[in-house]
Amino acid sequence: MGIWDALRGELIDIIEWLDSTSDTIVWRYPRHDNEIKNGAKLVVRETQAAIFVNEGAIADVFQFPGTFTLTTQNLPILGKLKGWKHGFESPFKAEVYFVNLKRFTDLKWGTMNPIMLRDPEFGPVRLRAFGTYVMRVEKPVDLVRAAVGTDARFTTDEIVTQLRNMIVSQFSETVGESKLPALDLAANYDTLTAGMLAKLKPELDAYGIDLPSLLIENISLPPEVEQAMDKRTSMGVIGDLNRYTQFQSANAIGDAAKNPGGAAGAGIGLGAGIAMGQQMAQSMGQSVSGAHQPSAPPLPMYHIAINNQKAGPFDVGTLQGYAQSGQLTAQTLVWSPGMATWLPAGQVQALAGVLSAGGGSAIPPPLPS
């Protein structure tokens, strides 16, 4: 074996990437002066792609797993750019970028500030939301062109902020267009997610990225609104407040009875018992009076004839005033419901007291013989 054959054997190289991190998306193979030796072996593993870049332009792409000997046959574009008409026997310069095609899981998204929306039930409300998503590179060449550039190590930290902003923007638009009440959003997470992914697809395609999974974990209202809702729910659970008060009073009496020696407990128990007794007595009194006490009969009302004109009806108290002024006398005609015809006031027994109080002259009965 000659000297050149020995040197050629020493120049054979292996280009591969064993990822020891969990967040690297793109990694550039480090070579001194970017020189790749003749007959180098390229190892592309599962969930990997290798991209060759010559003078800033993407040349050949290996997207399938395997071990490849770098020749003009499997580097046709790079060979054409270099002008290798008869193969190459010397080192050549090219940058090799390995792209991680695995799924990056448990990535977080969420609203940094509340989103203002008009709710059909509550009116203007502020909503917060957060969740997780899974990301993977679908088109390695598009990602390198759009986001990586000449970065030697491109990680998830360099793109998750942009992805989060895109997701939050489409979440706001999707929720606003749905016009769903805030209380119904939790039952429509799948529908909202599908709408978000449809809106995100054109933007993700520009980066060569796909989101196989997008989850909404929670949509929440401001704390003060949630507290008001909790109180409203408690009111609904309690139901009849009067019965609840009586129940609480009975419990207080029972608790006080467990500690008969305590003056404070006795006082509390006595006060609770009195309060409960008053409530029960009041309820019973109202029910008894309403059930057995008859209503008072209506007071009689009278019409009177003044200057041949009908006036009234008047109650007895008003007629006393007419009697005192002389407008009502024993001869004044009166009529009341139940009377067959108009009669002089002196002949109506119920008005005797009215005429005497007013000083009017009633027709006396005949003297006894």
**Separation CA 117–CA 122 (nearest Å):** 10
Pick the CATH number of 302-358 from 3.40.50, 3.30.1490, 3.60.21, 3.30.420: 3.30.1490
Q: Write the class of the CATH domain 104-138+150-222.
A: alpha beta
- Residue ranges per domain, the chain? 3-100, 104-138+150-222, 225-278, 302-358
Could you tell me the pTM of the whole model? 0.59
pLDDT digits (tens, 9 = 90+) for 283-316: 555 544 444 555 666 677 888 888 788 887 887 7
Q: How large is the average pLDDT for residues 117-123? A: 84
> Could you identify the residue written with the tokens 């638009």?
173
Contact by Cβ (8 Å): 319, 304: yes
- State residue 301's pLDDT score: 82
pLDDT at 260 exceeding the cut of 70? no
Mean pLDDT, range 356-362, rounded to an integer: 54
Cα dihedral 27, 29, 34, 40 sign: negative
